[in-house]
Amino acid sequence: MSTRLLMAAAAVILVAAGLGWALLMPGSVSDGPVEAQAGGGAGADGALNAAGPAGPVNPDFDFYRGKTVTYIVATGPGGGYDTYVRLIARYMQKYMPETRFIVRNVEGAGHIVGTNTLYNSRPDGLTIGMFNTGIIYNQFLQREGVRFDLSQMEWIGSAAHDIRVIVIGTNSGYDSFAELLAADEPIKMAAAGVGSAAYNDTRIVAEALGLNVQIISGFEGTEGELSMLRGEVVAQLGAASSFEQFVRNGGGYYALVVSGQSRVLPGVPQAREFVTDERGSRLLELIEALSELGRLTAAPPGVPPERLAALREAQALALDDPDLQAEAMQLNLPLDPIIGEEVEAMIKRALDQTPESIELLRQATMAP
């Protein structure tokens, strides 16, 4: 942590020590508050403003004094995205102790409903949100229901990029991904709603590798894992960290690394080992390009720069907090934070795809 961030963190912790702040837990009322008790006065905001600008703009922490920030998560309670948001919201409030944070679950249509809600919120800096990178696919494909333009959104940060994997249920009767490829019957795979990252990635992997799949969509949180346990589906694609407890408990095993660093899961084969043609290789490149972006937090277009700078700095302080990092480790949540303008630049690169690549994506994700 830089000297500037250390000074800011130390000052705010001293002020916040007597405040007390509640934990937003998965399964609690989805839009319940994390409240900071009255106290601390101007000292907290003074400490944060003294930290200096998070770039060329001075962060306006004074604006947030006594106000409520709504943090939208585009899934239902439970699962990886909900857990990340509740943890980050609690620690952002730690560094904005006179500000109240609430988490609002807005699920539906593979994160499209939540992203639409965020994008069309009032651009006053009091609504932020997290959604998955499948939203980028949806913008490429101009899916029905999309009411947002990611190139216009204000980007606060990315908490982590995660390894994308396929997990197979231990009671499925399949002992390897190679056996799935060789199967005559369609392989039932769980996924979130049509248009989600998991749904699109499953379609892309199936097209790239020649996997015969039947996608059962509409699963949220841990519902796909429960479906594997019941023998209703064989496998599921998603973030490795989201499956860690499921695998540890013996419900399934990591069968394939789709994107990310395979050294984290030694012995698990990589998707590229099963690619047989150039088309398959190019499809996997799309997934790999988007895997650098994960657990994104954004605000609607038009948020005043000083307020955006305050949100970016608060999230940077939160993700750099040793206590948050310790909790994330206990919760099996990877952290590799990127803040502000760097995320904005990465989004622009991800959106800069050739018409040929987008048509390839369209063919893959529109497969029957």
pLDDT in tens, 255-285: 999 987 666 788 999 999 999 998 888 888 8
**260 and 154 within one domain:** no
**What's the rounded mean pLDDT across residues 335-350?**
87
Q: What is the CATH number of the domain that holds 89?
A: 3.40.190.150
Higher pLDDT, 45 or 116: 116
How many residues are present in the chain? 368
The pair of structure tokens assigned to 249 is 């408990």
Q: Does residue 363 belong to any structural domain of this protein? A: no
Domain boundary among 265, 290, 315: 290
Q: What is the pLDDT of residue 9?
A: 41
**156 and 88 within one domain:** yes
* pLDDT band at 40; cut points 50, 70, 90: very low
Residue 68: is its pLDDT beyond 90? Answer: yes
The whole domain housing 42 covers 3-161+292-355
* pLDDT band at 358; cut points 50, 70, 90: confident
**123 and 34 within one domain:** yes
**What's the rounded mean pLDDT across residues 35-47?**
35
Q: Does residue 366 belong to any structural domain of this protein? A: no
**300 and 205 within one domain:** no
Measured CA angle at 283 (ends 280, 287), to 5 deg: 135
Q: DSSP label at 78?
A: S
**300 and 312 within one domain:** yes
Q: How far apart are CA 169 and CA 192, in angstroms?
A: 17
**323 and 265 within one domain:** no
Q: Does residue 225 belong to any structural domain of this protein? A: yes
Q: Quick count: other Cβ atoms within 10 Å of Cβ 277? A: 10
**What's the rounded mean pLDDT across residues 89-104?**
96
The predicted-structure confidence for 194-220, as pLDDT tens digits, reads as follows 767 788 889 889 989 999 999 999 888
Q: Does residue 98 belong to any structural domain of this protein? A: yes
Domain count, the chain: 2
Q: Does residue 82 belong to any structural domain of this protein? A: yes
Q: DSSP label at 165?
A: E
Residue 51: is its pLDDT beyond 70? Answer: no
Domain boundary among 290, 318, 334: 290
Mean pLDDT taken over the chain: 82
* pLDDT band at 167; cut points 50, 70, 90: very high
**116 and 170 within one domain:** no
128, 229 in Cβ contact below 8 A?
no
Residue 55: is its pLDDT beyond 60? Answer: no
Backbone angles phi, psi at 155, to 5 degrees: -105, 125
**Which of 123-127, 140-144, 157-161, 312-316 shows the lowest mean pLDDT across its residues?**
140-144
Q: What is the pLDDT of residue 174?
A: 97
Q: What percent of the chain has pLDDT over 90?
A: 51
**25 and 111 within one domain:** yes
Q: Does residue 367 belong to any structural domain of this protein? A: no
Domain boundary among 272, 290, 308: 290
Q: What is the CATH number of the domain that holds 278?
A: 3.40.190.10
Q: Does residue 307 belong to any structural domain of this protein? A: yes
Measured CA angle at 149 (ends 143, 153), to 5 deg: 145
pTM: 0.67
**297 and 265 within one domain:** no
**Which of 32-41, 159-168, 305-314, 347-356 shows the lowest mean pLDDT across its residues?**
32-41
Q: Does residue 360 belong to any structural domain of this protein? A: no
The predicted-structure confidence for 116-141, as pLDDT tens digits, reads as follows 999 999 999 999 999 987 788 888 88
Q: Which residues contact 157 (CB under 8 A, 6 or more apart)?
A: 296, 297, 312, 315, 316, 319, 337, 338, 339, 340, 343
**What's the rounded mean pLDDT across residues 180-190?**
95
**196 and 117 within one domain:** no
**147 and 63 within one domain:** yes
**222 and 176 within one domain:** yes
* pLDDT band at 35; cut points 50, 70, 90: very low
